[in-house]
Structure formats: C-alpha cells, structure tokens
Amino acid sequence: MPETKAEADLAGRRQDWGVVSTVSEAPELVVAFAAHALSLGAAEVCLYLDEPAPELERMLGANPRVRLVRCDAAYWAGLGMDRPWVPAIRQRANLKVELDAARFPWLLHIDADEFLWGPGDMGEILAAQPEEAGFLLIPVAERVHSGPADAANVFGGRFRRQVGGEAEVAIARLDGPAAPFLDQGMAGYAGGKSVFRSGGRAAAGVHLPDGAGEPLNVLYSHLILHFDGLTPAGWVAKKRRAIAQQPEWRSYPDSHRATRNQLAAVHDATDDAAAARVYSLIKELDPARETALAEQGILLDVELDLPAKIEAAFPGLALDFSAAALDRHVMAYRPRRDFQAVKHGLRAMLSRWTGRRPRA
C-alpha cells in the first residue's frame, strides 16, 4: 500500500482538485478562504473578481497556486455577453469557464464565506468516486454564536448542522421565535455545495448540476462551514441589497419562506439597531436555546487555525479579523434598472392596491 502522497498519486489513488469562487468580499475574508483551501491540498484556488480589487490582488498575487481573473467589461465581452445582472448567473458562467478548461479532474465551487472541513485527503476521496459520478455534494453547517457575536474575531462561534424531515419540527420548537427565519435550521441555505467533475454530463449550477438525472452522491463525512453573515452589519447590508435589487421579494414562494421573513423583518426595522436585532434573534443563541440544540447533537466546535494557514500561504501578511475591520468593506450595490425590476415593481404596487399576492 502506498505510504507517501507521491506514491499515492502514482498508484492512481489521488486526483487533483481546484477551488473556484466569484468574490466581492472583504480582502481579509478572501485571504483566509484561499489559505484554508490551499491547506487542504487544493491544487489551485481560482478567484473571479466580481468587482475591482487592487488590495486583494496585492495580497494574493505572490502565491502561484492562486489565480485571479478580473471580471471586467472585457472579460464579459470575451464570453459574448454583457455583465449578467443576477449574481448566480455570473457565478455559473465563471464555473462553466473553469469546468470547460478542465485544468483539474474536480472543481469545488463555493463562496468566500464557505470553508470545506472534514477528515482525510480530498484528492484520495475524489479518486475513490465511481466513474459515473459527475458530482459530489457536501452538506452545509452554519455558524452561530454563543451569546453576542465576538466583535474581535469574525471567525468565532460554533456551527449547527441542518436538520430536515420529521426532526425539523422538533428543532424548530427549540429555536422558538427564530424558527420562522430558518429552513432546516439554516438562515442562509440548506442542502450543500458540490465538487464537480470536469467535463460533466450536466450544466453545473451554484449548488448542484442542472437537470441531472443521476443519483445524489453525498459526502457525509465533510461539511461546508458557512459563515452566513460574517458580521451583524454585513448580514444586514446583504439583506438590504436583496430588498433593493429584488422588488419581487415579497412574492417569494413558500419554499423561500425563511428568506422572505428575513427580508420583511429587516425592511420593517426602524433603524440599524433594530435591523441588527434580527441577526441576533436568528444567530445568537441564549444559554437555554444553545443547551437544547447541543443536546440534539447538531452543534459543532471547529478549530480552523486560520492565522497559521495564512502565514503558510502568504508569509508576513498581517490581517485584522475584527468586525470593525471587515465592516469597512461592506459591499455597495448597483441600482437595478432593467425590465424585470419595473415589471415586479408594478406587480407589487398592484398587489398593495388589490390585496392580492403578486405572482413570482
């Protein structure tokens, strides 16, 4: 049996994998994201810069295993399109470019606030997948806080696993007033993210392949650790962007009930402090709620050791991970001026006049 990484490669027991992400977050977060992925053995971290990021380019440019792609007007013109309005469409387009290039047998597509976590060598795990498997789904766990969020360390806290099926009802009772804002215990998204095989049979979506008839192939030993809302102010800003950019949000279907409730609560907040209290209600656990959830075995404590990983990947780079530092980079948004916005705005106005719920 091979004993070294090189011997395992020669024996065909390991396959290279890369990470691709479309980013517009604080440089500190993206640096930590890249360093963590590299520490897990990713052959490359490819970052599509959704907005100009000279500071980030300066920080990351010296590592040969990090590749940066500027998504400027020339880039989108090269793909034969204008910059798509919807972020998910931009993500899908960038992912397709990487999958078509097939630089590596496998490609993990996640956001910069998502960190892969689990035991073993991912290259060996991927090499063991059946040839017919076009993707491998990794479940999600979401960061929560023991009491108030730690303003000195945006990566502090614990993680809670999603819970579906019959158990979701019982867990919702433990979450109490926070339950309407959660889907399977998640405030961000439930389900997971995927590692895609290059040259797969189906078009790759943000989470799963589109229209794939193949069975769900889930890696239960690993998790995507989702820092949904790295800071309370960042989370509120994200919700306000969604409110401004998606006039149809009030007509979200019941499958998106939790998101709709989050947006409504932030929309109705009278000031920043009231909006931040929505974050606190959802993500900051009081002792009774934390104890109850812990007894269900769904809370995890994970040590990511990010300073050591950053030093290994980007020596001498000193970063401030306080909430104040990251809140300086809260992303602005571009006003939406397309036909869809006008259409949904008119529908929303009509629904207020008639009392009817607008169609999605």
Report how far residue 53's alpha carbon sits from residue 324's, in angstroms, rounded to the nearest whole number.
Answer: 19
Domain that holds residue 104: 5-229+286-330
Per-residue pLDDT at 87: 87
- Asked whether residue 82 is domain-assigned, the answer is yes
- Where does the pLDDT of residue 208 fall: very low under 50, low under 70, confident under 90, or very high at 90 and above? low
Residue 221 sits in a domain whose CATH number is 3.90.550
- Asked whether residue 236 is domain-assigned, the answer is no
- Asked whether residue 52 is domain-assigned, the answer is yes
Write out pLDDT tens, residues 220-241. 999 999 999 899 999 999 999 8
Report how far residue 37's alpha carbon sits from residue 19's, in angstroms, rounded to the nearest whole number.
Answer: 7
**Consecutive H or E run containing 158:** strand 158-161
- Asked whether residue 224 is domain-assigned, the answer is yes
Q: In sequence order, what DSSP letters do the residues of 137-201 get, joined into one string? A: EE-EEEEEEESS--TT-TT-SEEEE---THHHHHHHHHHGGGGGG-BTTBSS-SS-EEEEETT-S
Give me the half-sphere count of Cα atoms (radius 13 Å) on the Cβ side of residue 28.
Answer: 20
- Asked whether residue 324 is domain-assigned, the answer is yes
Across residues 301-307, what is the average pLDDT? Answer: 96
- Asked whether residue 190 is domain-assigned, the answer is yes
Can you say how many angstroms the Cα of residue 30 is from the centroid of all Cα atoms in its chain?
Answer: 12
Write out pLDDT tens, residues 29-73. 999 999 999 999 999 999 999 999 999 999 998 899 999 999 999
- Asked whether residue 357 is domain-assigned, the answer is no
357 phi and psi angles, rounded to 5 deg: -80, 125
- Asked whether residue 349 is domain-assigned, the answer is no
Write out pLDDT tens, residues 17-40. 999 999 999 999 999 999 999 999
Number of domains, the chain: 1
* pLDDT higher than 80, residue 341: no
- pTM (2 d.p.): 0.88
Query: Is residue 319 a contact partner of residue 34, using CB atoms and an 8 Å limit?
Result: no
